[in-house]
Structure 1
């Protein structure tokens, strides 16, 4: 059994409101165990015998069937979340900046996003692997930062989601040893 972190895209914003207790209850019908929701922003850890693609398929189907919206998730093995957190060159807490990780289920879309983001003036980002980019935003100005505006374009909606590094650390800690 493998431990996974599942990152939901676009819930509890834009009119798609899902209570975490309802999500956890809906997931009981799927081939998952040890399911835990973290924070109210769509972070789930669970264990499953499925591979990452299977977890993604089952999870998205559950969201669509239960909550009736076009659902997209990024699924990472728990050990990969730990590797990404460790590889991030930016601090989790800083008075002047916030650190974010943009995660992707489509490596080509992330490469395109990284290349476009690298061309932006004043944007500091680091490619952590085929599924993640770490980047900095000014404290209090995340949504107005050039990379945030770029990454929120509709063409990235189905394949990317962003979490701050502090959230990634909480997800890492919750997923550690879940499926072993």
Structure 2
């Protein structure tokens, strides 16, 4: 089965550095096949015959053994990633006029209710829930008015990992 591992909080602002080459080698050493990484924010695409829980346990143990800091990790099947990407309206893009992001949710906050708790001004943001993720679209001219940046200091931020829509679609198998 094809999987995507999404890491939270690595290689941001020069902190918690993880080389993608080392991550690829680690995944191969854990017995995963067809391992590839995608951009430095921490995305690994790989295959395994194991179920998702076993895969996550293997990855978590491998990360703990090889890094001196915690790396929160989400593991999604390619099918799950595709369902999320397919739920995003096709006209939602990242371009000069709009911005679209996907927040992949850890199980503890995977609920439509999470939207209600997010601190940004929803008058300026079209935000939607789909099992496993919340995604939003905003006109670039409204980014500051939306107070979208407040999400970083919110308690829920630690239970999500955010990717732009282009990365989300790539990881789902689009544009390959």
TM-score after normalising by structure 1 = 0.81
- Name the structure 2 match of 1:74: 74
Which consecutive residues of structure 2, in runs of 5 or more, have no partner in the other structure? none
Q: Is the 8 A contact 2:109 2:156 kept in 1?
A: no
Residue 160 of structure 2 corresponds to: 160
SS in 1 for 2:172: helix
May I ask how many residue pairs the two structures share in their alignment?
Answer: 172
Q: Deviations over 1:76-95 (max 9, x none)?
A: 11011111111102522332
Q: 1:144 to 1:107 in 2, by over 3 A?
A: farther
Q: CA deviation at 1:44?
A: 0.7
Aligned position for 2:56: 56
Higher relative contact order (CA 8 A, sep 6+): 1
The answer for the alignment partner of 1:3 in structure 2 is 2
Residue 134 of structure 1 aligns to a residue whose secondary structure is: strand
| Aligned mates of 2:149, 2:110 — CA distance in 1 | 15
What secondary structure sits across from 1:124 in the alignment? strand
Instruction: Rate the CA distance shift 1:145–1:10 in 2: closer, same or farther, 3 A.
Output: farther
Q: CA RMSD in A?
A: 2.7
Q: Distance in 2 between matches of 1:51 and 1:93?
A: 34
Q: 2:128 aligns with which of 126, 129, 132?
A: 126
User: 1-side partners of 2:27 and 2:37: how far apart?
Assistant: 11
**Contact 1:81–1:172 (CA<8 Å) still a contact in 2?**
yes
Whether the 8 Å contact between 2:56 and 2:75 is mirrored in structure 1 is: yes
Q: Which residue of 2 aligns with 1:136?
A: 137
Tell which deviates more after alignment, 41-50 or 133-142.
Answer: 133-142
Rounded Cα–Cα distance in structure 2 between residues aligned with 1:117 and 1:8: 21
Residue 133 (structure 1) shift: 0.7
Question: How big is the shift at 1:53?
Answer: 2.1
TM-score of the superposed pair, with normalisation by structure 2: 0.83
